[in-house]
Structure 1
Amino acid sequence: MSTFHYNKLLICLIIIGLLASLTIDWQRYHVEKANSTVEMVMDYEDIVELAQIEGIPPVALFSQFKTAGITSLAVYETTLEKLNKNGKVTAMPGTDILHQERTGTLTDPFWRSLLAEGKIKAEDVYIVGQDKKIFDEVKSDLMRRLGPGRVTMLAEGDRPVLAAKANYEKVVKWNLGLPTDELMAVENMGFYVVARPTNYTKVTPEDVNSVFQRLASVQNVSSIMFVGEEVLGYPDLLPLTVSNFKERKLTLDMIEHPLQLQFVKQEGLTQVAAAINYQAARVYVIPKDEQPKLKLTEAIQRWMVTDQERNIRVNLMRKYDKAEPGKTLVETNLAYVSGTKDVLLAEGFSLGRATTFPPYFASPWLLALVVLGATAAGVLFLSLIYPFAARWQYALTLLIAVLLLVPIIKGGGTFCRQLTALACATVFPALAMTWQLDRWRSQEAAGLFSRPIGVTKIIRDGLGSIVLTTLFSLAGGLYLAAVLSDVRFFLEIEYFRGVKITFVAPIILVTIAYLARYNLFGNVQTLTARNIWKQITGLLNYPIYVKTMLLFGAAAFAAWVYVGRSGHTAGVPVPAVELKLRAFLEQILYARPRGKEFLIGHPAFLLAVMAIYRQWPRLTQYLLIVGATIAQGSLVETFAHIRTPIFMSTIRGLDGMVLGAAIGAIAVICVYLIQVIVARLAGRSPAANE
């Protein structure tokens, strides 16, 4: 039997790295725990529209939404179209005035005199103001967007008139700056203001400053959530935007992408976030086409899970446009908001202005120890595949560690940290399963499996083994969580790369380790590690039967589902039954475990113990061990979601182990009972009875 030695010095380095990881993870836990205030936001215009639909005074409805839990109102830039609808200004094309004159319906002496003076042109747009402040704001923004030469004052006084040389259908939809009357109304009603400005074409310093001058009219501006494909000031005036952010201590709101990876693309967004020292908050909004399909309870549950699991601190809530049975439209939306408020408060969140992360960055020296430990783990695994001299193990560890550490010690090294995280996600699950394989090998070599073993012992030993193996893998998760711990990863400005690899690589590594220890098609242990290649060539030369093709097809389908369900891109759809199971587990557990862990991996681990103790064929043992590896790899990969609080990731992994171990124990009992029944039907005793 091949002997594989566990280098004690490398193990010491792994333990030291784990201690450094725990230190960083503890710091991270406190940083995340302090970030617990959620801002609940609705659009100002949505509530006004609801009031109009239901015939309720807007002020009264705003008060009801405030009581229900809305803390902030989003104010967008106004347009001539909006101002026309609410009667604050009148905008019309010159052709309308000319048509009235030609049909004899233009009776107003004011307009007739303008016509007589030749000041009305068919191709121009005319804006008449009722409120001087609003009119002045419209005028100033039109001049910035069109240029002074295209905007002319035709009349002053009580009825000011503005002429703009522009296409009417286009200009009425242009954004014309944040309306100060709405900003002040929001503040006077006791809400925070979430400003939603857009960038200007060929933006100038005056354009940027005009936005913040409008915001200066109110005190309770919590954040800015930019609209469009660029942030204000992009590309050349971002420093001016940053300066205004810092001066007013504003938060930058970053809207999560619908695929839940980084953000809706806006040029200049991450540059502004970095320049304001990452005083930014992650925003989530239920997709517009998805919300109508969700019942209120489902939408409320979505918000609870989102805020808990993805560090979302700004809930941008769209209104429901269809009333629930037995409720008015207003009652439906108030129930939606108040229900969300209740579940968040029950989960320990507070409501108000969204909290932000401090600019946390782990100590480079602690990171150095983590990287050194991760490197030692990788080299240790290599030595367990193909043993080589200890001095070469030390030399390889030192070489790889130095290459990774130099950029990190200098204060950078993001790519090196991501590379280390990827190594942790692949090596630690494989190392955990390899260590467990060697425990079983030593027990087999000692003859412990030569006598019948009862199902009670199988379950008892299996539960002990699954706990030890899971804790070993959990150490890898804590390594991964530590090496990527800083505010950029919390906000997902930077993120873990290689999700697909982490699902496949541990299985490949464990397969190699298994082939280095066992003959896959014989119930004997491999003599040397060099027999790996012989077994691979044996597999390639294996005759192809119909059953082989069916088995290969089933394996390919399972792999497609397994890999396709990973990552953030659209892949294999999730069955409705599984969605319901997820929702149920989210309600009864603090952190919903992953299905591939408690439904596949951990039960496979218990069955693998049964297969090994009962000396089932090696191929069967191997397939079950591959299944067990899925859970270990998934557990470590859970920590790759750095936006998820580390405490939740830890509990999720432990929940999966407990639930999966219970299901695995039941599976072992069921297999045992099936064996007993089959044996009795065949007229013989089962191979091993208690």
Structure 2
Amino acid sequence: MSTFTYNKWLIGVIIVGLLAAFTIDWQRYMVEQANSTVETVMDYEDIVELAQIEGIPPADLFRQFKEAGVTSLAVYEATLEKLNKSGKITALPGAEILHQNRTGTLSDPFWRNLVAAGKIQAEDVYIVGQDQQVFREVMEDLSRRLGPGRVTLLAEGERPVLAAKANFEKVVKWNLGLPSEELAAVDQMGFYVIARPTNYTKVTPDDVNSVFQRLSPVKNLSAIIFSGEEVLGYPDLLPMTASYFKERHITLGMIEHPLQLQFLKQEGLTQLAAANNYQSARVYVIPKDEQPKLKAAEAILRWAVTDQERNIRINLLRRYDKPEPGKTLAETNLAYVSGVKQALVDEGYSLGRADTFRPYFPMPALLALVMFGATAAGVLLLSLICPFPARWQYILTAVLSVLLVLPILKGGGTLSRQMVALATASVFPALAMTWQLDRWRRMEADGHFNQPVALGRIITAGLGAVVVATFVSLSGGLYLGAVLSDIRFFLEMEIFRGVKLTFVAPLLLVTIIYLTRYNLFDNMQLTSPKDLWRQVKTILNYPVYMKTLLLVGAAAFAAWIFVGRSGHTAGVPVPAAELKLRALLEQAMYARPREKEFLIGHPAFLLAVMSIYRQWPRLFQYLLIVAATIAQGSLVETFAHLRTPVLMSTVRALDGLLLGAVIGIAAVVGVYVIQAVIARWGRGNATHE
């Protein structure tokens, strides 16, 4: 039997790196624990409109929403369309005024005189003020948006009028600055203000100043969440915007992408976050097309899970537009908000101004030790695939470590950290399974499986083995969680890259390792590299039968499901039954375990132990071992989601182990019973004959 040596010095380096990783993960845990206040936000306009629909005084409805749990109101920029509806201004196309004059319906002498003087042009837009402050703000922002010479004041006094050279259908929808009246109203009612400004075309310093001058009277300004595809000041005036943010200690809101990967596209967003010393909060909003499909109870659970699992600290709540049975529309929305508040309080959060992470970056020396240990793990695995002298193992570990650590010591190293994280996610699950394979080989060589083994011993051995393998993989998760620990990854400004590869690579590595130790086509162990090559040739020359094609097709379908369900792209849809199972587990457990672990990987691990103790054909053993590897790879990959608190990722792994062990025991007992029934039935038939 060929032997594979585990280099104890490399194992020692791995342990040292693990201690450094644990130190970083502990620091990360403390940073995450200090970030526990959530801001619940609704749009100011939504509540005003709801008050109009229900016939409730707006002030009363705002008070009720505040008592229900709304901490903040979002204020958007005004548009001529919205101001027209509110009666604060009147905007008309010049063509309409001229039509009225021609048909004799233009009775106002003021307008008739302007038409007679030739001051009304069909292609222009005319704006009449009802509210002096609103009119002044509209004129100021229209002048900025349109540029000099395109906005003219035609009349002053109680009924001021201005003319704008612009397309009416377009200009009525333009954003025209944050309305001072709404900002002041929100401030006076005791809510936090979340401003939603947009950027300007060819933005100037005066444009940036104007936005923050409009915000200067607001005492309770909490955050700014920019609307549109650019942040204010992009591309050249971001430092100016950042200086205002830092001066007033404003939080930058970053809206999570619907696919849960980074953010909605806004140019300059991450640059502004860095310039604001990372005083940023992740924002979530249930997609507009999805919320009507969710019952209020489902949406409430969504908020609790989202805030807990993805470090969301600003909840932007949309209004429900249909009342629940037995409730008015206002009561429906108040109950929804109250339910969100209670769910968050039950999870240990407080409501108020959103917390932000302190700018955490781990010590370079600790990172260096982590990367040194991860490199040693990779070299150890390589030596277990293709053994080579120990001195070359040390040289390779040293050279790779220096190349990876040097960028970190120079103040950078994001790419090298991402490379190490990707390698870690592949190496540790493979190491966990390799150690078990070699242990089983030694037991088989010593004759442990020559005699029938009791079911209880199989279960005990399986549980011990899956626990050890899980903790080896968990070490890899702690490595991964540490090497990418800093505030940029917490906020998802930087991300782990290679999610789909981390699901496939451990399976390929374990396949290679298995083929270096066993022959798939008989129960003989390999003794030389020539045996491995002969096995590869046998696989390549295997006849293609219809059953082979069906097996390959089934494997391809399983791979499509397995890979397609990973990552954040819109891939294989999730069945409704599975969604219900997820919801049940989210309510029953602190961290919902992954189906790949408790439904596939861990049960397969216990069945693999059974297959080895009962000496099933090698091909069956191999398939079960590969299936068991799925859980180990999934466990480590969980830690690649840096937005998820490290404690939750750890508990998720342990929850998956516990639930998977229970299901695995049931699977082993079930197979044992089926085998016993078949054996008894076979003996009965033989006796009858």
Matches within 5 A, 1:51-66: 51-66=51-66
Residue number in structure 1 paired with 2:175: 175
Shift of 1:98: 2.3
Residue identity in the other structure for 1:186: V
Report the 3-state secondary structure (helix = DSSP H, G, I; strand = E; otherwise coil) of the residue aligned with 1:641: coil
Q: Are the counterparts in 2 of residues 385 and 529 from structure 1 also a CA contact under 8 Å?
A: no
Tell me the C-alpha RMSD between the 2 structures: 1.3
Between the aligned partners of 1:559 and 1:164, the Cα distance in structure 2 is 61
Residue identity in the other structure for 1:482: A
Report the 3-state secondary structure (helix = DSSP H, G, I; strand = E; otherwise coil) of the residue aligned with 1:175: coil
Q: Are the counterparts in 2 of residues 242 and 275 from structure 1 also a CA contact under 8 Å?
A: yes
* 2:356 counterpart of 1:356: yes
Between the aligned partners of 2:385 and 2:685, the Cα distance in structure 1 is 40
Report the 3-state secondary structure (helix = DSSP H, G, I; strand = E; otherwise coil) of the residue aligned with 1:223: strand
Between the aligned partners of 1:509 and 1:145, the Cα distance in structure 2 is 59
Segment of structure 1 superposing worse, 108-117 or 485-494:
108-117
Shift of 1:442: 1.2
Residue number in structure 2 paired with 1:205: 205
Matches within 5 A, 1:500-519: 500-519=500-519
Residue number in structure 2 paired with 1:290: 290
Report the 3-state secondary structure (helix = DSSP H, G, I; strand = E; otherwise coil) of the residue aligned with 1:493: coil
Deviations 1:19-50 (A, max 9, x none): 00000000000000111111111111111111
Residue number in structure 2 paired with 1:82: 82
Residue number in structure 1 paired with 2:15: 15
Between the aligned partners of 1:598 and 1:23, the Cα distance in structure 2 is 29
Residue number in structure 2 paired with 1:245: 245
Matches within 5 A, 1:615-654: 615-654=615-654
Between the aligned partners of 1:194 and 1:492, the Cα distance in structure 2 is 22
Between the aligned partners of 1:397 and 1:166, the Cα distance in structure 2 is 67
Deviations 1:246-275 (A, max 9, x none): 111111111111111011011111110111
Matches within 5 A, 1:355-394: 355-394=355-394
Residue number in structure 2 paired with 1:440: 440
TM-score under structure 2 length normalisation: 0.98
Q: Are the counterparts in 2 of residues 278 and 487 from structure 1 also a CA contact under 8 Å?
A: yes
Residue number in structure 2 paired with 1:534: 534
Q: Are the counterparts in 2 of residues 516 and 530 from structure 1 also a CA contact under 8 Å?
A: no
Shift of 1:620: 0.7
Shift of 1:120: 2.3
Q: Are the counterparts in 2 of residues 679 and 685 from structure 1 also a CA contact under 8 Å?
A: no
Matches within 5 A, 1:302-317: 302-317=302-317
Residue number in structure 1 paired with 2:343: 343
* 2:579 counterpart of 1:579: yes
Report the 3-state secondary structure (helix = DSSP H, G, I; strand = E; otherwise coil) of the residue aligned with 1:253: strand
Residue number in structure 1 paired with 2:191: 191
Matches within 5 A, 1:450-469: 450-469=450-469
Between the aligned partners of 2:255 and 2:508, the Cα distance in structure 1 is 37
Deviations 1:219-244 (A, max 9, x none): 11111111111111111111111111
Matches within 5 A, 1:70-149: 70-149=70-149
Residue number in structure 2 paired with 1:566: 566
Shift of 1:123: 2.2
Aligned length: 686
Q: Are the counterparts in 2 of residues 128 and 162 from structure 1 also a CA contact under 8 Å?
A: yes
Shift of 1:530: 5.0
Unmatched runs of 5 consecutive residues or more in structure 2: none
Report the 3-state secondary structure (helix = DSSP H, G, I; strand = E; otherwise coil) of the residue aligned with 1:39: strand
Report the 3-state secondary structure (helix = DSSP H, G, I; strand = E; otherwise coil) of the residue aligned with 1:149: coil
Unmatched runs of 5 consecutive residues or more in structure 1: none
* 2:152 counterpart of 1:152: yes
Shift of 1:105: 2.8
Report the 3-state secondary structure (helix = DSSP H, G, I; strand = E; otherwise coil) of the residue aligned with 1:419: helix
Shift of 1:163: 1.4
Residue identity in the other structure for 1:561: I
Residue identity in the other structure for 1:472: V
Residue number in structure 1 paired with 2:258: 258
Residue identity in the other structure for 1:214: R
Between the aligned partners of 2:403 and 2:297, the Cα distance in structure 1 is 52
Between the aligned partners of 1:575 and 1:118, the Cα distance in structure 2 is 67
Shift of 1:447: 0.8
Shift of 1:106: 2.6
Report the 3-state secondary structure (helix = DSSP H, G, I; strand = E; otherwise coil) of the residue aligned with 1:665: helix
Shift of 1:572: 1.1
Between the aligned partners of 1:684 and 1:496, the Cα distance in structure 2 is 59
Q: Are the counterparts in 2 of residues 2 and 529 from structure 1 also a CA contact under 8 Å?
A: no
Residue number in structure 1 paired with 2:217: 217
Shift of 1:104: 2.8
Segment of structure 1 superposing worse, 635-644 or 529-538:
529-538
Between the aligned partners of 2:531 and 2:431, the Cα distance in structure 1 is 20
Shift of 1:349: 0.7
Between the aligned partners of 2:375 and 2:549, the Cα distance in structure 1 is 40
Q: Are the counterparts in 2 of residues 41 and 314 from structure 1 also a CA contact under 8 Å?
A: yes
Between the aligned partners of 1:647 and 1:636, the Cα distance in structure 2 is 14
Q: Are the counterparts in 2 of residues 253 and 280 from structure 1 also a CA contact under 8 Å?
A: yes
TM-score under structure 1 length normalisation: 0.98
Between the aligned partners of 1:558 and 1:108, the Cα distance in structure 2 is 75
Q: Are the counterparts in 2 of residues 127 and 161 from structure 1 also a CA contact under 8 Å?
A: yes
Shift of 1:107: 2.6
Percent of aligned pairs sharing the same letter = 74
Q: Are the counterparts in 2 of residues 252 and 280 from structure 1 also a CA contact under 8 Å?
A: yes
The ranges of structure 1 where at least 4 consecutive aligned residues each deviate by more than 4 angstroms after the TM superposition are: none
Between the aligned partners of 2:334 and 2:69, the Cα distance in structure 1 is 9
Between the aligned partners of 1:515 and 1:525, the Cα distance in structure 2 is 10
Shift of 1:496: 0.4
Residue identity in the other structure for 2:284: Y
Q: Are the counterparts in 2 of residues 515 and 531 from structure 1 also a CA contact under 8 Å?
A: no
